[in-house]
């Protein structure tokens, strides 16, 4: 077991790689009552084209299958995993993102049993045709719930417009059609390919004794048989550099119009550290441009273009990345023009050293704050882990970022990689 101490945040992290390839990280939080366990696999909504384990041909499976599998993982041969967690007094849940699926528990009691149950239910699959059919109605309602959420539609609509082919353009849950077309066999194929220990990572944080817990996990893993680790072959997506659609307008039964501008960022660093520096620098730039302290924000607010729902973010995942800027607005067209003008002339936008230092301080504070929450620590770690980034090092990397790093980010706001997504109320005010 390896022990890593992080001085700035005063935390000690323990790590060990199991014989079967599973990486385990433990972070004791003294004084905490709760323990949070997160078991993640590098298998997300975008992994729909791959070579299944033991085969040689690339296949294309149904959209939304990672999420479907997440729902069905809780079925065990002798009952339901959530019921078993309830018996222990623990709560459990799971989530699927574009590049990973994660299962979790949180409990203040009987932690050893919770950790074993988490490992056991995720490391076994029990599917029946009947239970898979039954789940389709539930997932259908989950999709419908998002269909009525204008913020989600705007957020996701802008992503869908950015990409021609990349599977990130399809909703994480898929569509009602792809969910209905999903079969037991397809789910099994995905499970066998992506739930191998060498493609997974366990992170446990909270009220725990590292030596004892690592031994428990070692013994649990030693009892199980897995095929030898094999490299997973995923399809390489040939995505053009241009955007799929320049603009889309969607009408919904809402009061407030919304606008989201998406900017496709084509060049993605290969190395984990470079990727992180880019992400942090871009976030500092977006903060300087659009946080409430900025003159740009103040001007947009005073001219009635935006309200405090306005925000900007940078998403950088395995093989795609983009910037999103937008929010509620009564003047979507004017906001679009304002932002377009701002981005087209971004190289004239200068940043002074004091502003840069101030926003950097903010980033450091936010990072330190996140170490109060076991959930945030584990989720952040898992999000970066599969991209080759070690989240405990973020604070040192933020400190090393220079104004120059941030200024360079202005070059990514290229003219023809923008898309605009607008949501308008169905009714004109006269019908109200």
Partner 1 sequence: MKNVIEYDGYRLHLIPINKFKNVMIILKMAAPLTRETTTLRSLLSFMFTGGTEKLPSVARFSSYLEELYGARFSSSIGTKGLAHVIQIASVCIDSQYLKENEDLLTKQIELFRDVLFSPNAKDGRFDELTFNQKKKEFKWRLQALKDDKYSYSLERLFEEMGKNQPLGISTFGYEDEIDGITNEALYDYYLQCLKNDVFDIYVVGDIDENFETLFSKNFKLSKRPQEIATSTIFKSNKSDVLVVKEKQDIVQAKLNMGYTIDTDFTSPDHYAFTLFNGLFGGFAHSQLFKVVREEHSLCYYVSSSYDAFNGIMLVNAGIETKNYDQTVKLIQNELEKIQRGELSQELLDITKVMLENSLKKSDDEALNIIALRYNRDITHKEETNQQYIDRLNAVTLEDVIRVSKKVKLDTIYMLEGKE
3-state SS class at 97? coil
With CB under 8 A as the contact rule, the residue among 23, 49, 82, 183 that binds partner 1 is 82
What CA–CA distance (Å, rounded) separates 74 from 67? 12
Q: Which of residues 119-138 bind partner 1 (CB under 8 A)?
A: 134-138
Q: How far apart are CA 164 and CA 417, in angstroms?
A: 12
**Share of the chain residues as helix, strand and coil, in percent rounded to the nearest 5:** 45, 20, 35
CB burial class (10 A; 0-12, 13-18, 19+) of residue 137?
exposed
DSSP letter for each residue of 150-169: HHHHHHHHHHHHH-SS-GGG
Sole window of 119-127, 187-195, 253-261, 337-345 interacting with partner 1 (rule: CB under 8 A):
253-261
Establish whether 70 is a catalytic residue: yes
Binding segment (CB under 8 A) for partner 1, from list 40-48, 81-89, 269-277, 402-410: 81-89
Residue nearer to partner 1 on the CB measure, 92 or 161: 92
Shortest separation between residue 56's beta carbon and partner 1, angstroms = 38
Which residues, at least 6 apart from 111, have a Cβ–Cβ distance to it below 8 Å?
35, 206, 207, 208, 213
Member of 17, 79, 109, 240 binding partner 1 (CB under 8 A): 109
Residues 6 or more apart in contact with residue 341 via CB below 8 angstroms? none
CA distance 276 to 175: 33
CB of 405 to partner 1, least distance (A): 19
Size of the site for partner 1 (CB under 8 A): 71
In the list 19, 147, 211, 411, the residue contacting partner 1 (rule: CB under 8 A) is 147
Nearer to partner 1, 301 or 340 (CB): 301
> Which one of 89-97, 189-197, 218-226, 331-339 is the stretch in contact with partner 1 (CB under 8 A)?
89-97
Q: Which of 88, 184, 403, 407 binds partner 1 (CB under 8 A)?
A: 88
Any alpha helices (H) in 148-230, and if so which ranges? 150-162, 176-180, 184-194, 210-222
Q: Does 9 bind partner 1 (CB under 8 A)?
A: yes
Which one of the listed residues 2, 11, 57, 70 is annotated catalytic?
A: 70
Is-contact 117 81, C-beta < 8 A? yes
Report how far apart the first and last C-alpha atoms of the chain are (Å, whole number). Answer: 66
Residues 266-295: x where in contact with partner 1 by CB under 8 A, - otherwise, as a string: -------------------------xxxxx
Nearer to partner 1, 206 or 332 (CB): 206
The distance of closest approach from Cβ of residue 359 to partner 1 in the complex, given in angstroms and rounded to an integer, is 6
Residues 374-393 as x/- pattern, contact with partner 1 by CB under 8 A: x-------------------
Radius of gyration of the chain (CA): 23
d(CA 401, CA 360): 9
Site for partner 1 in 290-329 (CB under 8 A): 291-295, 297-298, 301-302, 304, 307-309, 328
Among 1, 12, 19, 91, binds partner 1 (CB under 8 A): 91
The DSSP code sequence of 24-36 is EEEEE-TT---EE
- In sequence order, what are the beta bridge partners of 106? 36, 91
- If binding is defined by CB under 8 A, does position 353 make contact with partner 1? no
Question: Of the two residues 152 and 230, which places its CB atom closer to partner 1 in the complex?
Answer: 152
Strands 2-6 and 11-17: antiparallel
State the residue for tokens 């298998």: 43
Which alpha helices (H) appear in 345-373, and where do they start and end? Answer: 353-370
DSSP one-letter code for 409: G
Which among 144-152, 181-189, 196-204, 345-353 is the span making contact with partner 1, rule CB under 8 A? 144-152
The smaller minimum CB distance to partner 1, of residues 140 and 272, is found at: 140
Window contacting partner 1 (CB under 8 A); options: 79-87, 183-191, 229-237, 378-386? 79-87
Residues 6+ apart with CB under 8 A from 67: 45, 96, 101, 139, 172, 173, 174
User: Among residue numbers 192 through 221, which ones bind partner 1 (CB under 8 A)?
Assistant: 206
Q: Does 154 bind partner 1 (CB under 8 A)?
A: no
Determine phi and psi for 324, rounding to 5 degrees: -130, 135
Q: Which stretch binds partner 1 (CB under 8 A): 145-153, 225-233, 276-284, 407-415?
A: 145-153
Q: Yes or no: say if 275 and 269 are a contact pair by the CB < 8 Å rule.
A: yes
Which of 51, 232, 256, 351 binds partner 1 (CB under 8 A)? It is 256
**Which C-beta is closer to partner 1: that of 150 or that of 262?**
150
Q: Quick one: which of 242, 372, 400, 402 contacts partner 1 (CB under 8 A)?
A: 372
Place of tokens 């076994």: 124
- Which residues are known to be catalytic? 70
């Amino acid at each position: 077991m390896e022990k890593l101490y992080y001085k700035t945040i005063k935390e000690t992290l323990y790590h060990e790689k199991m014989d079967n390839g599973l990486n385990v990280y433990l972070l004791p939080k003294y004084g905490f009552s709760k323990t949070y366990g997160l078991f993640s696999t590098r298998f997300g909504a975008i992994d729909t084209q791959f070579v299944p384990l033991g085969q040689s041909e690339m296949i294309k499976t149904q959209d939304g299958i990672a999420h479907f599998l997440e729902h069905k993982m809780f079925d065990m041969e002798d009952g339901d995993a959530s019921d078993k967690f309830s018996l222990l007094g623990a709560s459990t849940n799971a989530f699927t993102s574009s590049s990973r699926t994660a299962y979790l528990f949180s409990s203040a009691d009987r932690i050893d049993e919770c950790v074993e149950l988490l490992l056991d239910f995720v490391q076994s699959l029990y599917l029946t045709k009947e239970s898979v059919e039954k789940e389709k109605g539930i997932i259908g309602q989950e999709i419908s719930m998002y269909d009525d959420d204008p913020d989600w539609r705007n957020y996701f609509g802008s992503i869908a417009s950015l990409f021609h082919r990349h599977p990130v353009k399809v909703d994480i849950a898929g569509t009602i059609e792809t969910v209905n077309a999903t079969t037991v066999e397809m789910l099994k194929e995905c499970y066998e390919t992506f739930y191998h220990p060498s493609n997974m990572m366990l992170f446990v944080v909270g009220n725990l004794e590292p030596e004892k817990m690592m031994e428990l996990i070692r013994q649990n893993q030693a009892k199980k048989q897995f095929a030898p680790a094999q490299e997973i072959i995923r399809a390489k997506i040939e995505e053009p550099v241009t955007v799929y659609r320049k603009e889309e307008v969607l009408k919904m039964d809402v009061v407030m119009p919304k606008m989201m501008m998406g900017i496709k960022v084509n060049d993605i660093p290969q190395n984990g550290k470079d990727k992180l520096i880019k992400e942090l620098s871009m976030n500092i730039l977006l903060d300087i441009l659009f946080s409430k302290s900025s003159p740009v924000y103040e001007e947009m607010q005073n001219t009635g273009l935006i309200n405090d729902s306005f925000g900007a973010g940078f998403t950088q995942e395995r093989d795609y990345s983009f910037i999103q800027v937008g929010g509620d607005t009564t003047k979507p067209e004017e906001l679009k023009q304002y932002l377009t003008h701002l981005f087209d002339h971004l190289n004239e936008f200068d940043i002074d050293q004091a502003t840069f230092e101030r926003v950097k301080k903010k980033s450091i504070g936010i990072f330190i704050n996140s170490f109060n929450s076991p959930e945030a620590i584990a989720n952040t770690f898992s999000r970066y882990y599969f991209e080759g980034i070690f989240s405990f090092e973020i604070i040192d990397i933020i400190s090393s970022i220079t104004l120059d790093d941030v200024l360079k980010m202005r070059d990514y706001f290229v003219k023809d990689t923008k898309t605009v997504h607008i949501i308008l109320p169905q009714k004109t005010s006269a019908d109200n």
